[in-house]
A and B are shown apart, each in its own frame.
Chain A
């Protein structure tokens, strides 16, 4: 044991000696800034769990630039996305070995905070607030004074349709959901084998986004109590709307992201998709033969003249409570998601749509995506839509609500039965789980 300790000391001594000579000028330059804790005491190396493709290249920019100056080295550990990563982070946190930085979807933040896995970095990243839309920033504070993450990418929802086939069938782009339903029915009349789209019971995030657009607030707090309102009037409206369309056969009831769905999009058996800003990437792989035939429009609205959208997807960069260099980690998180070069690289290498409002119209986002080369104003329109995103309200057991959605809505979609019964199941399962854990809940 003493041997290793000494060796570690020796290595560290050598490394810092080297760093001191190399970075002497840099230190002199920023010596007066209020860096303390991790950054001041020597070189720092951080581990970052992320699923964004090409993140290692973006992190290289940091390690060779700003990071070299601040003597903060970040190492990327590629992870699987979604709920499995949350479980992995929580397990690592239980052992006190969570990485310094993690990528987390917005809806997972309350779960992570509730497990005391995320550090409050309000002191370090407070200045970044101005770079983001209020609705986006609010998701990282959970409505408190703390800041638990820096927003990275967002997924404002939009309506995608096959422009050529809409013309062929004589359809107009629906501006309201009522028109959306009419369009679906009109299409069925003209071409019984074709569907406008499908209601997918495997995509809870899509349903949550649609409810968010309608004004739903699934989790809210008052005092020391959570209020769960998954079956509120707004969500019921959304559920009944889609349930009605599925029941009358105006839209398909099969899940998305299956080989069958890919084929339906590629062959024009489904001619529209309610999706988010990242849809071009998905369509490129799912329906390669339809390049240039799609167009994007704002999501249909619940009433004329309204201008609201929901979000599907999006994630943030958070610092864990296990990190020994929280300030250094927060500094990197802020750089990654607000620095122009970093965001450009993220867009190019990772294909993300940035949460930072200034980045939404620069660099990679001045020309439309390849797949939508026919729509020159794609990103200008996207940025305009992103500003209309309704606030979201996530709670500490989104995962329970989401898995119940899969099962309850899966069965309802299969039987083409009442969607509001499925919604009630979602509400009761979520409340039951919170009560079991000991949360104070009011319905």
Chain B
């Protein structure tokens, strides 16, 4: 009896750890370990002796923060960050503004063909980013685009969308086209969860549909707006596939157009994984600070409002 009792209590005590084990192992193997390896790589560099030909000519040595100082002094990384900032200033407000507008319109009483419209707006999200970029890339190329053909026939000016300022619009357009539907669904789902009696009360008080939208619906879905904003910031900082896909079509997109493209170029183009690792760590930290900074700011405001 005693042994059985002891075994039983031991089993119960160990059970939580047993349940934790799979998650802990997976976390360590596929999250902590790769990150740790990236940090390790970023603190090392390759050292070549002599002509660097033959065996033993290359070794990995400790570099300290050299890769990091290189990353910060290389103007390309900062320029890339600024380009992405400019791109984000177009994408995030326009995309979320449209998503909110579409969600409110779909939620209004007078909407027709709601399921079809909802699907139609959401559909571009289902198209992979690379395919979307290729599709739009063909439409942007004056020599093959049907739009340019029509503009030419009408005698209208044909702007070069793959150059200078318009390039930002061209890239933003791809992201907005692809991302609006997803954000709309998130906001729309939140709107569906608002209890009907809230609207009834507002109507009894004589609120117009516009007032209901501005004063009730938008504040009620504020948490969803915060969430979509949060996702959008991360997606913007990580923009990669659209400019990479457009790159071969034009001279205007360099191999280091966005910070992630620079990481890719350093790792696979110029073969310096150590430099690429340092840049990846910097980008990850910047993303973390920016997105969680925003989230904390938003939460604090929510709490203050709740306290009021």
A→B interface (CB under 8 Å): 83-84, 86-87, 90, 110-111, 113-116, 142, 144, 201-202, 221, 224-226, 253-255, 257-260, 263-264, 269, 321, 396-397, 399-400, 403, 406-407, 410-411, 413-414, 433, 436-440
Cβ distance A414 to chain B, nearest Cβ, rounded Å = 4
Q: Which of B45, B54, B248, B270 contacts A255 (CB 8 A)?
A: B248
A269 vs B142: C-alpha distance when bound (angstroms): 13
Is the CB of B138 closer than 8 A to any CB of chain A?
Answer: yes
Residues of B within 8 A of A202 (CB): 248
Separation of A258 and B46 alpha carbons in the complex (Å):
37
Residues of B within 8 A of A201 (CB): 251
Show the binding face of B for A, using Cβ within 8 Å. 45-58, 70, 138, 141-144, 163, 248-252, 254-256, 265, 267-272
State whether B49 touches A221 (Cβ < 8 A): no
For B49, list chain A residues within 8 Å (CB): 438
Shortest CB-to-CB span from A406 to chain B, Å, is 6
Q: How far is the CB of B160 from chain A (nearest CB, A)?
A: 10
The minimal Cβ–Cβ distance linking A11 to chain B, given in whole angstroms, is 32
- Other A-B pairs, 17, CB within 8 Å; known A403-B270, A411-B251: A83-B269, A87-B268, A113-B54, A114-B57, A114-B58, A116-B55, A202-B248, A258-B248, A259-B143, A397-B270, A399-B270, A400-B270, A406-B255, A407-B256, A413-B251, A414-B251, A436-B45
Do A410 and B254 touch across chains, with their CB atoms under 8 A apart? yes
In whole Å, how far is A396's beta carbon from the nearest beta carbon of chain B? 6
A-B contacts, 14 listed (Cβ < 8 Å) = A83-B269, A84-B268, A87-B268, A87-B271, A254-B250, A255-B251, A258-B141, A260-B141, A260-B143, A321-B55, A400-B270, A403-B265, A410-B252, A440-B50
In the complex, what residues of B have CB within 8 A of residue A142's CB?
53
Establish whether residues A259 and B141, one from each chain, have CB atoms under 8 Å apart when the complex forms: yes
C-alpha spacing A400/B268, complex, angstroms: 10
Min CB gap A336→B, angstroms: 25
Q: Looking across the interface, which residue of chain B has its beta carbon closest to that of A91?
A: B273
- What B residues does A253 contact at CB under 8 A? 251
Min CB distance A349 to B, Å, is 28
Q: B279: shortest Cβ distance to chain A, in Å?
A: 15
CA distance A83 to B269 in the complex (A): 7
Residues of A near B272 (CB, < 8 A) are: 433
Given known A263-B144, A399-B269, contact A407–B255 (CB-CB < 8 A):
yes
Q: Are A90 and B58 in contact (CB under 8 A)?
A: no
The 5 residue pairs across chains A and B that have the minimum distance between CB atoms: A260-B143, A414-B251, A410-B251, A438-B48, A407-B254
Given contacts A201-B251, A255-B251, A258-B141, contact A113 B271 (CB under 8 A): no
B143 A263 Cβ-Cβ under 8 A: yes
Q: How far is the CB of A388 from chain B (nearest CB, A)?
A: 29
Distance in angstroms between the alpha carbons of A407 and B265 in the assembled complex: 11
A221 to B265, CA, bound (A): 27
Q: Which residues of B contact A86 (CB under 8 A)?
A: 271
Q: Which residues of A contact B138 (CB under 8 A)?
A: 259
Q: Are B55 and A406 interface neighbours, CB within 8 A?
A: no
Separation of A397 and B52 alpha carbons in the complex (Å): 11
A438 partner residues in chain B, CB cutoff 8 A = 46-49, 52
CB neighbours of B142 from chain A (8 A): 260
Q: In the complex, how many angstroms separate the beta carbon of B161 from the nearest chain A beta carbon?
A: 13
**Which of the residues A111, A221, A407, A410 comes within 8 Å of B51, measured between beta carbons?**
A221
Residue of B nearest to A429 (CB): B270
- Closest chain-B Cβ to A253's Cβ sits at a distance in Å of 7
From known contacts A83-B269, A259-B144, A399-B271, infer whether A144 and B255 are also in contact, taking CB-CB under 8 Å. no
Bound CA–CA A370/B22 (angstroms): 62
Q: Is the CB of B249 within 8 A of A255?
A: yes
Out of B48, B55, B143, B267, which one reaches A437, CB within 8 Å? B48
CA distance A399 to B96 in the complex (A): 41
How many Å lie between the Cα of A202 and that of B269 in the bound state?
Answer: 13
- Per the bound structure, the CA–CA distance linking A440 and B47 in Å amounts to 11
- Cα A437 to Cα B73 in complex, Å, equals 17
CB pair B271–A111 under 8 Å, yes or no, is: yes
Chain A nearest Cβ from B280, distance in angstroms: 16
B245 to chain A, nearest CB (A): 12
Closest residue of chain B to A257 (Cβ to Cβ) is B248
Contact B57 A116 (CB under 8 A): yes
Minimum CB–CB distance from B54 to chain A (whole Å) comes to 7
Docked-complex contact B254 and A411, CB < 8 angstroms: yes
Smallest Cβ distance from B17 to chain A, in angstroms? 30
Contacting residues, chain B, for A263 (C-beta < 8 A)? 143-144
- Docked Cα-Cα span, A189 to B230, in Å, equals 56
Chain A residues, Cβ within 8 Å of B47: 437-438
Least distance between A173 CB and chain B CB atoms (Å): 26
A280 to chain B, nearest CB (A): 22
Asked if residues A433 and B270 are in contact (CB atoms below 8 Å), the reply is yes
Cβ contacts under 8 Å, A221 to chain B: 51
Interface centre among A114, A202, A226 (most CB of B within 10 A): A114
CA distance A413 to B254 in the complex (A): 12
**Chain A hits for B46, CB < 8 A:** 437-438
Least CB distance, B61 to chain A, in whole angstroms: 9
Given known contacts A83-B269, A403-B270, A439 and B144 CB-to-CB distance under 8 angstroms: no
Contact A406 B254, CB 8 Å, known A255-B248, A257-B248:
yes
* CB-defined contacts of B254 to chain A, threshold 8 Å: 406-407, 410-411
* Nearest neighbor of A396 in chain B, beta-carbon distance: B52
User: Which of A83, A224, A263, A406 has the most CB atoms of chain B within a 10 A radius of its CB?
Assistant: A406
A167 to B252, CA, bound (A): 36
Give Cα A225–Cα B53 distance, bound, in whole angstroms: 11
Find out whether the CB atom of A114 lies under 8 angstroms from the CB atom of B268.
no
Return chain B residues, CB-CB under 8 Å to A114.
Answer: 48, 52-53, 57-58
Q: How far is the CA of A142 from the CA of B251 in the complex (A)?
A: 33
> Are A414 and B53 within 8 A (Cβ)?
no
Residues of B within 8 A of A84 (CB): 268
- Asked whether, in the complex, the Cβ of B251 is within 8 Å of the Cβ of A254, the reply is yes
| C-alpha gap A413/B251 in the complex (Å) | 7
Q: How far is the CB of A198 from chain B (nearest CB, A)?
A: 11
User: In chain A, what residue has the closest Cβ to B59?
Assistant: A438
Say yes or no: A258 contacts B55, CB within 8 Å: no
The distance from the CB of A95 to the nearest CB of chain B, in whole angstroms, is 13
CB distance from A305 to the nearest CB of B (A): 36
In the complex the two chains form, what is the Cα distance from A399 to B255 in whole Å?
13
Once the chains are docked, how many angstroms separate the CA of A439 from the CA of B54? 14
Give the chain B neighbours of A413 by CB distance below 8 A: 251
Rounded to whole Å, the gap between the CB of A255 and the closest CB of chain B is 6
Known: A259-B144, A260-B144, A406-B255. A224 touches B271 (CB 8 A): no
